[in-house]
Each structure stands twice: as structure tokens, then as C-alpha cells.
Amino acid sequence: MAKWAMVIDLDKCVGCQACSLACKSENNVPFGSPDEQRRRLDIFWHKVIAASRGEYPNVNIEIIPMPCMHCEHPSCVPVCPAKATYRREDGIVMQNFRRCIGCKYCMVACPYGARSFNYREQEEEEYQRPDLPPDLGLDTKAYIGPWPYPHRTHGVVEKCTFCFHHIDQGLKQGKRIGIDVVPACVEACPTVARAFGDLDDPRSNVSQLLASRNSLKLREEFGTEPKVIYLPR
Amino acid sequence: MELTYTAIEGGSKRYYYALAALAAVALAGLVGFSISYVEGHRVFGSSNVIPWGLPIVVAIYLIGLSAGSLILSSLTYVFGQERYKPIARMAVFLAIVLIFGAMIAIAVDLGRPEKAWRLFMFFYLNNMTSMFALNGILYGGYFVISLVYLGSILANKAKLIKPIGILAVCWAALVHMGTGAIFGFIATREIFYSPIKPLEFLSAAMVSGLALLILAVFFTLKVTGRSISNEIIFSLRRLLTILIIFLVILVLVDKLTHLYSPNRDATVFLLTGRYSPLFWVGQVGLGYIVPLIILLNPKTNKNIRWIMIAAASVVIGIFFERLALVIPGLAYPLQYYPGDIQGVWGQTGSFPIMPAEVILSVGMFAFLGVLYFLGLKFMDLLPSSTESKPAHGSAEVEPAPGGQGVD
């Protein structure tokens, strides 16, 4: 089984936010109103933070794109009471809207702020994904997983999925994951700062990138072992 | 002296007025909930920075009051302290009402309250490593056990009462320690993360439960024209003083440990940041200092009125203790990366006071008041007023003023 990971080269990142936009349009994540943004009610599956150190004129700002880290030992999975958050065998941490009861415990437990709560009924509920089979529901044997969500309802927690619909479909079609098929944010990056691939495969682009340079993970002190790995500037 | 219990007659106009007023407020709370259910949680003050708001605060507060109240009933039924017997039934009944309210509060806080039943599909649909799922077992069991406990007390099954009482008290302690574990096990939030959180919660539960019991007993017995010996209040006062001191020690140890470097920023934020008044004025001031001054001062601690003020101050202060845990604990921004995180991602969370949320929370308390009043009418909870009046003298029933003693 593959172990999907993303490598982000901070040296190449220019902070253009193309990844955030690509994520929003690919996954149909709603845009918030200015009022919602001020109150932090809007949904972000992907964010770009800027961390500054020092005072002018000796100041250094680092731009860090942050999708969900898809940790090896995620802190959100053990706290979920409803089995709505789970880790797939290929290491992707998933959120099932149908099981989610909206207790928000995972948002409290996540050290990366990767999760957003859906605070209002969205105008556009349908996911326009005609290329995927219809969702059949939990009670049928033909249950195919939480995608595509037939309705986006308020009151559940959402998060980045590493665009697993691309990966699953690509695997079925025999495409090369990481080269032909990548998550939307990787595809959109104009400076090729992002790479996606299989950590277990020594010939994959992520493994080779990690071997080439020093790397860092965010908040390693929690022992979550994130699978979004950064190459420092 | 043989002690008998009786229900209040509950036929007076004032009883019905109070009941109607509380029911109206509870109905307003229901409206608030309906709005939040239709509109989504944006009508609440919570946000993606502070995901938990007032309903969770109310829930853990009510669980605390309930557990504390039930534990104190053990003084009579487990440890055989006969002098507390006049108030023991009320303690158990109060515990049941309050845990019911707490379960409602938790359901109301869920984004999808219609899926709350999933919390009780133990081991089947639940992930049992979650403290929420474990607490589902604890709360559900607690509710059932305390119902059986009250039933056996009302039916005077002397053989049943003691074993069930022991079970109920141990379970109540577990319930509130489990609630503390919801917070204490979360390593991400530095203010929450503490091994003594369960113990701190239990101790706060006993303090607030006892204070509420003192208030409820005193006002209920007073307005229903029953006599209560000051001796009971005075001995409960001594217990309250000891429990508050114990709680202060636990909180002090917790905060001092968190203040020790490194990793002290979140606690410094709690003590000096924008939410520090919740801690200093609410929790420390109202919860600890004011009641301790009153209860330790020999001039005031012999005066029933002052003791009631102290108890009310404790009940309010412990509410602020919950608030000062949840809100600042979540508001402190997560440090994704060393340095100052610019823009919205590094901002301290804000928690606006939203009308729907406040109405909902107040309505929940009012609903518990309704339940309490109805319980007084339909169950034999209060000691008969044998000394001063004949049994039918309780017809001149008056409600507790302002709901202070009942919510």
C-alpha cells in the first residue's frame, strides 16, 4: 500500500495562494463573506500562513502553505466519537460528513488548525462531480465511501482530503500518481514548489526530493508525524 | 425523630406564575435552538478558532453541579450522617435534573443534534478511544443509576439504598473526572493539557454542587414554610470552606506547573491576555476569594444571609471557571511555525456574545427550573413541616424568588 505524502519546497514558494484557490474550486469549498471572514467562520481546506521573525530592518518572513498534514499518528482520529474521522490504509485522513455529528472535538485536538466547521447552509450544496459514481448511502453494501457528498450540510467538520478522488480514479485507470495525477494544489502551483507521491517508493519524486535536501515537519514535538514535509529555504 | 417527606401542594397562584415564567423562558430557549438548527452555528459565538462555546460551558457546568450534588447525598445514604437527611432527597433529585440538562446542552452544541443518538451506540458506531464516546457511557449510566437511586429512596427500600448509593457516588465521581479528561487529554491546547484536570473538575464539581445545594435547600424550605435547622447550614458551610481550599490548591498547582518555562505562553495569555478578567474576576474573585473571605470571617460566617451570598458567589464563580477554561484555552492561537504568524491565522480568537446562544443557555436553565418545580410538586422530596405546622399547612406554597435557588 502506498503512503501518500506531499513535499513543499519553501524556497520555490512565492506565496501566490494559487494552491488555496485551486483547492477551493476543486473541492467546491464555499467562499465566505467579509463578515464571516472577520469572525473566522469561513471554510479553508488549505491555508497559507506567513510567519515573521525579527524587527524591521532585520526581518525575515516565511510563507508556509498548509494543507491537512495527513499525520501518521493523527490527533483528530482518536478523539472522534462517531468514527467520522479515520485514517485510510494509504495514510489519508478522511472526514465522513454523514457520520460526523458536529461535536468539533477534532478541531480542538488538531495542532495544525486544518479543520473547519461548516457554519451555515451553503447556497450551492451539490458537488458538481459528474465523473464520479453516485453516492449510495451507508446502509447499502455498495457503499463507495464519503465522496461525492450529495449535500454539503451545515453542522459538520470539513477538511482537506489530499484530493483522494483524483488518486482513486487515477489508480483505477492505471495512471502514475504523482506524475500524471496530483492533488489540485500541486497541479496549480506555478513555481512547481509542491510534489506529491509515495513515501514508500524510493524512486518516487517525493522520496528523491527528501533525499536531496534537509527537510522539516511542522510541530514535530507532538509526535504526529505529518506527511506534508517542507524543504526549508 | 422520625423524618417523613412530602410533596408541596403546588396549588398557589405564585407557584403557577413562577412555573409559567420559567416555561416561557425555556420556550424562548427552544426558539433559540431552532434558529441555530436552521441557520447553522453561525448564530452562535463560536468560530473556527474557538469551536466550543456557551453550550459546552453550560454542559460541563451542569455535569459538575449534578455530580457534586449526588456525591453530597452520600453523606446521608452511604456514610450514615443522619443530620443531613432532610436535604438528601433533594440532592439526588437535583442531580438527576442537572444531568438531564447537561445531556441536552451537549446535544444542542452538536452541529447535527439529530445524530446525538450516535453517541450512545457504544462500541458499534462509536470510536471508544474518544473521551466523548466514553463519557457517553458514563453520562448514560449515571442517568440510569441515579434514577434507580432516587426510586429506591422514594420507595424506602433500605436494603437497596446503600449499595446503589455507593455505586452512584463512585459513578458520579467518574462522570466528572471523565468530563475533565475531555479537556485534560488534549495535548494541542496547552491550557487544557494537564493530568490533574480530572481531579480539578471533580473538586470544582463538589464545590459548586454543594453551594447550589445550600442555596436550593435554603430557599426551597424557606418559601415553602418549612423550618431548617441552622446547624445543617453551618456544617455544610464548613464542608464548603474545606472543598474550596482544596480546589484552590489544585488550580494553583495546575497554573503554576503551566507557568513554568518553557511552553508558558498560553498560560501567560490566560492570566494576562484579553480573557484574563474571566479568570481573575470570575473564577478567582467570585469563585474563591469572595466566598473564602465570607466563610472564614468569624463575623460573617455565623450569618445565614452571608452564607447564602457566599454560596451564590461560588455557583457563579464556578461557571466562570468553566468559561475561563474553554474560551481562553481555545482562543490562544496555535503556533504552527516559530515566529509571529501574520494576518488572520495568527490572531487570537474572539468570542462575540450572540443573542441566540445566550437565550438558548438561559432557556436551558429555565427548563431545569421547570423540572425542579414539577418534581417538588409530584414527588415526596421535602421534609414534612411537622414542627411548626400541620401537614396540610404547606398549601401556602410560594416559589423561590427569581429562580436563584432553583437553576
Q: Which ipTM value was assigned to this complex?
A: 0.88
Q: Give the per-residue pLDDT at B309.
A: 95
Asked if A105's CB is within 8 angstroms of B132's CB, the reply is yes
Answer whether residue A146 shows pLDDT above 80. Answer: no
The per-residue DSSP string of B56-125 comes to: HHHHHHHHHHHHHHHHHHHHHHTT--GGGHHHHHHHHHHHHHHHHHHHHHHHHHSSSGGGGGGGGSTTTT
Residues of chain B with C-beta less than 8 angstroms from the C-beta of A121: 38-40
Q: Which of A104, A106, A217 to mutate to test the interface with B (most CBs of B within 10 A)?
A: A104
Please tell me the predicted confidence (pLDDT) of residue A47: 94
Q: What is the per-residue pLDDT for A131?
A: 45
Q: What is the pLDDT at residue B388?
A: 43
pLDDT value, residue A124:
62
A129 pLDDT band, cuts 50/70/90, is very low
- The pTM score is 0.90
Q: Report the pLDDT value the prediction gives residue A204, as an integer from 0 to 100.
A: 93
- What pLDDT score was predicted for residue A143? 45
Minimum-distance CB partner of A155 among B111, B127, B347: B111
Strands A85-87 and A93-95: antiparallel
What does DSSP assign to residue A216? B
- State the smallest CA–CA distance between residue A23 and chain B in angstroms: 18
Task: Name the stretches of chain B with pLDDT < 70.
Answer: 1-2, 385-407
Contact B132 A81 (CB under 8 A): yes
More confident residue, A126 or B75: B75
B28-50 pLDDT, tens digit each = 999 999 999 999 899 999 999 99
CB within 8 Å: B338 and A53: yes
Contact B188 A107 (CB under 8 A): no
Residues of chain B in contact with residue A80, where contact means CB-CB under 8 angstroms, are 127, 130
A51 interfacial to chain B (CB closer than 8 Å): yes
> What mean pLDDT is reported for chain A?
86
- Binned at pLDDT 50, 70 and 90, residue A151 comes out as low
Beta strand B5-6 with A58-66: parallel, antiparallel or unpaired? unpaired
Note the pLDDT of residue A25.
86
| CA distances (Å), origin A159, targets A110, B160, B284 | 11, 51, 38
Per-residue pLDDT, B395 = 40
- Give A109-123 pLDDT, tens digit per residue: 999 999 999 998 877
- Which residues in chain A are closer than 8 Å to B115, comparing Cβ atoms? 82, 100-102
The domain defined by A4-231 carries CATH number 3.30.420.10: no
Q: Which of B62, B66, B41, B69 is nearest to B53 (CA)?
A: B41
Count of CB atoms within 10 A of residue B306's CB? 18
**Do A62 and B339 count as a contact with CB atoms less than 8 A apart?**
yes
Residue A130's pLDDT band (cuts 50, 70, 90) = very low
Distance CA B59, CA A179 (A): 50
Q: Which sequence spans correspond to the domains of chain A?
A: 4-231
Output phi, psi for A93, to 5 deg.
-90, 120
Arch. (CATH architecture) of B5-335+344-390 = Up-down Bundle (1.20)
- Cβ pair B16, B340 in contact under 8 A: no
- Split at pLDDT 50, 70, 90, the class of A144 is very low
Cα distance between residue B302 and residue B146, in whole Å: 34
Select from B74, B81, B78 the least CA-distant residue to B95: B74
Chain B: nearest CA to A48, how far in angstroms?
9
Nearest residue of B to residue A80, measured between CA atoms? B130
pLDDT at position B390? 40
Q: Where are the domains of chain B?
A: 5-335+344-390
- Exposure string over A43-60, b if 16+ CB within 10 A, otherwise e: bbbbbbbbbeeeeeeeee
Provide the chain A residues 125-154 that lie in CB contact (below 8 A) with chain B. 153-154
Q: Choose the mutation target among B48, B60, B138 for the interface with A, i.e. most A CBs under 10 Å.
A: B48
pLDDT digits (tens, 9 = 90+) for A88-109: 888 899 888 778 899 999 999 9
Q: Which residues of A touch B47 (CB under 8 A)?
A: 39-41, 119
Q: What is the DSSP string of B285-319?
A: IIIIIHHHHHHH-TTTTT-HHHHHHHHHHHHHHHH
